[in-house]
Every structure is written in structure tokens, then in C-alpha cells.
A and B are shown apart, each in its own frame.
Chain A
Amino acid sequence: MEAAALSPAFLLQLAGSAVAVGALVATAAWAKIAKPAPPLDDARARALLAAEFPGRTLDGLWVATDGVGALAKSGGLALVLCQVGDGWAARQIPWAQAMAASFRNGRLSVDLADVAAPRAVLTFPAWPPTDLAA
């Protein structure tokens, strides 16, 4: 470790950089130039899932009521889609894991078992879905 390198001059430069970071983030927030992210509908969710999981057929699809996520059944797998900022992240987990996810106050909390995508929270009227085929 370079203790000498953490000199007052470096720390001053670091503090200046931190202020600059704050200013740039504020400028980005002011500009409001994120990608448009309208609430998901069935067609858009299917298109996103098709791009993320090519070749997978969907046995069922449930779009979150707030439009910021979706969950699909594909054979023995659950395909989970969740909004991240103005983008999307998707993961597949065993269907049984999705069925066992905690559902409280209309929010399904799905453990994605991935350090890069720890959890997806999806709003549904009910879970398991009432229209799930037996």
C-alpha cells in the first residue's frame, strides 16, 4: 500500500473530483435525457423476453401492474424481467423458486440468487397467478 501517495495534495484532488462527480450527476438529473421507459405491456414484455432468452417459448406471461417488470413461465423455468433505471435486467430461475417467492401486500419478492441481480420485486394482484394452468 502506498501510504505516501495518499498525500494532502492527492486527497485535495480527490475531494475536487468528488465535487465534480456530484455536479455531473446533478447535470444529468437536470437534463432528463434517460431512455423513454413506458410501462411494460404484454407485447413489449414478450419482445424483451425474446431478446433475452432466444428460443424460449412462453407458457404464461404476467406483467407487473406497475409495468416495471414481468414474469414468464417457460417449461420448468421462470423468466424474470425487471426494470433497472431506464434499462432492463433478466434472469431465469427454477419455476418452483418463483412459486415459493414471498408475496405480501401485492408485491412478489423473487430471490434471483445472483450477486449481480439479487432480487426482483414485482407487483401482482395475486400470486400464484389465478390464471396459471394446472
Chain B
Amino acid sequence: MIKPPFDPVTLATPFFILTVIAEIVLARFGWAKARYETKDTAASLLMGLGSTVAGVLTGGAVAAATLWVWSHRLFDIPMTAVWAWVAVFLLEDLTYYWFHRISHERRIWWVSHVNHHSSQHYNLSTALRQTWTGALNGSFALWLILAWLGFPPAMIAIQKGISLVYQYWIHTEAIKKTPRWFEAVFNTPSHHRVHHARNAVYLDRNYAGILIVWDRLFGTFQAELDEEPCRYGLVKNLATFNLLRVAFHEWIAMAGDVVRHPRHALGYVLGPPGWSHDGSRETSTMIKAAAAPGALKLAPAEREAA
């Protein structure tokens, strides 16, 4: 099957709207923990709205690539088999983990994903703060492996939608912890708060989509610590709500670095965010190392010299 019979994200849109209202109203009357700032909320929601337009404009190319790969598939996987849905659930979630990990660890993908992290708030509107440029840097190619294996494009699209809808509800401070067995297996508000935090100990952790077991398996899991309250946003926070700057700032910054330092272009494009040829900036690894107990408290350039 090529065209999905339904889109989980479209079906969930009324739920998104109602739950954002519910979170705001509950917080207004002190019945739930949530913070909303008007301009930040507008930026997040308009990024979400823009991403749906971008998705329509680029969706054709992504669908065409998926179809082409599927036409060269290894196996014929039936969309009606339960085992096939179990398999696509696990494999799509594994694909999402690696997509998400490279989106944080390589700047060419971070330039798009940074949009989702640039709010200093963590609420349900943050979940809708989505990139406009996700298809431009080709990260969709990771999902082509599933089509090559033989999963029908419609099946992949539905599972991607289910994953996106699952990840919506975990963007909240209103839920502190879920039952221990659930925290052990699934991505939860607590685990994902860690992922959105800019505290050194939390950087580049908890990349999971639905199953947190991938982080536990690949060594990127970090539990939320009572003694380290999450501070949300970027290592270097935005100082503007201008939507064009919010959407494109890291693309422009990367292009500027490449133009200024063409000999180091590969490092600025394929290196981790924060990489610089002269050590004047900090990557997550450097920040984490500097914040580790016993680390010398030096400025970046001093650290490089040491």
C-alpha cells in the first residue's frame, strides 16, 4: 500500500489543541505545573503551523524517494500481519533514535532540529515547535531503509505519525513521574525533560522516541535528578522571537562559518554543534567535561590551551 488510509497527526490535532488549553487552564488555577509566556507560545505554535506547510511542500519529494526505494525492496511485507506492525514499531523507533541522535550530534542536522529546542519553556506548545527545514538536509533517508526492507510506505508513514503523536504528551512538567515499570521501558515526561534541558549533565541525552530502552542500550540514558532541576533551552539561548531568525538562525550561522573558514568547512558542517577550528567555542562534550566534578574551571580558549 502506498497512500496511508489515515494520518495519526491529523487525527490528533483536536487533541493537541484541547490539551494545550487544558494545561494552561489547569496551571492558571494552580492545579498543574506549567509555565507559558505569550511570545514564546506564539513562536512555538507558529513554528508548528509553518512546519505543516513545509511538510506539504517537501512531502512529494520524500514520498517519491520512499516509493522508489520500496520498488527495489528486499521482501514483501504485508500490511495486514500483526508481526509486521510489531516489527515496524520497533524498527521505526530504532530509526528515530538514530535520526534524533545525529540531529543533535552533527551540525548539518542540528541546524534543523535546533528549532525544537530553542524555547526556554517546556510545555505542550513546545512539542508543536517543529522545524521548517527538516527535509532539506536529507535526514528522511534513514527511513528509506525500512522501505528497502519491504515495509509499505503507508505503514512507515502511519508508524512515524504514531511516534510523533506519542511524543507530544511527554512535553510537560505537569506529570512528574509515571509508574516505575513505565519509566523503565517508555519515554516519559521525566526522561524527555532531561532531553530538553541545557544543564551540562543533561546535554545530549535521552534521544528516544517511544522506547527509552534504546538510550539504555546505547549508553545515552540520563535520569532526571532531583538535585539538578532542568533549565530548558539552548546552550546559547535565542535573544529574539523573530520567527525567521528562530527558523533559520543556525543555517545562517553555519553558512557564515563555512564562508569565513572555507578550509574548515567540513568541520563546521559535519562536526558537532559548537565545534570550531580554533577551539574558541564549546561542544556538548567539552561542556560536560568542564562541568564534571574536579574539572578545571577554565574558559574555552584556556581549556584548549591547557
With the chains together, A29 CA to B37 CA distance in Å? 7
Interface centre among B59, B121, B236 (most CB of A within 10 A): B236
Tell me the residues in window 3-41 of chain B with beta carbons closer than 8 Å to chain A beta carbons.
13, 17, 20-21, 24-25, 27-28, 34-41
Q: Does B245 contact A (CB under 8 A)?
A: yes
Query: Which residues of chain B are near A118, meaning CB under 8 Å?
Result: 239-240, 245
CB-CB nearest in chain B for A53: B299
Contact B36 A120 (CB under 8 A): no
Contact A55 B17 (CB under 8 A): no
Number of interface residues of B (CB under 8 A): 51
Q: Does B120 contact A (CB under 8 A)?
A: yes
Q: Does B49 contact A (CB under 8 A)?
A: yes
Query: Which residues of chain A are near B241, meaning CB under 8 Å?
Result: 84-85
Query: Chain B's nearest CB lies how many Å from the CB of A75?
Result: 8
Tell me the residues in window 12-56 of chain A with beta carbons closer than 8 Å to chain B beta carbons.
14, 17-18, 20-21, 23-25, 27-35, 51, 53-56
Q: Provide the main secondary structure of the chain B interface.
A: helix
Contact B45 A25 (CB under 8 A): yes
With the chains together, A18 CA to B40 CA distance in Å? 16
Contact B56 A6 (CB under 8 A): yes
Q: Which of A17, A35, A91, A119 contacts B52 (CB 8 A)?
A: A17
Query: Which of B161-169, B186-194, B206-214, B290-298 binds A?
Result: B290-298
Query: Which residues of chain A are near B60, meaning CB under 8 Å?
Result: 1-2, 5
Contact B35 A84 (CB under 8 A): no
With A28-B36, A87-B237, A89-B237 as contacts: A33 and B46 at CB distance below 8 Å: no
Instruction: List 13 interface pairs A-B (beta carbons < 8 Å), by A numbering.
Output: A2-B56, A5-B60, A6-B56, A17-B13, A27-B21, A31-B36, A33-B28, A84-B120, A85-B40, A87-B121, A87-B237, A112-B239, A118-B240
Task: Give me the interface of B with A, judged by CB distance under 8 Å.
Answer: 13, 17, 20-21, 24-25, 27-28, 34-42, 45-46, 48-49, 52-53, 56-60, 120-121, 125, 231, 233, 236-241, 245, 249-250, 252-253, 256, 290-291, 296-299
Task: Give me the interface of A with B, judged by CB distance under 8 Å.
Answer: 1-2, 5-6, 10, 14, 17-18, 20-21, 23-25, 27-35, 51, 53-56, 82, 84-91, 112, 114-120
Additional pairs, 14, CB under 8 Å, beyond known A24-B125, A27-B24, A35-B35: A17-B49, A24-B17, A24-B21, A25-B38, A27-B25, A30-B28, A33-B34, A33-B35, A34-B35, A34-B37, A56-B299, A82-B239, A85-B120, A116-B239
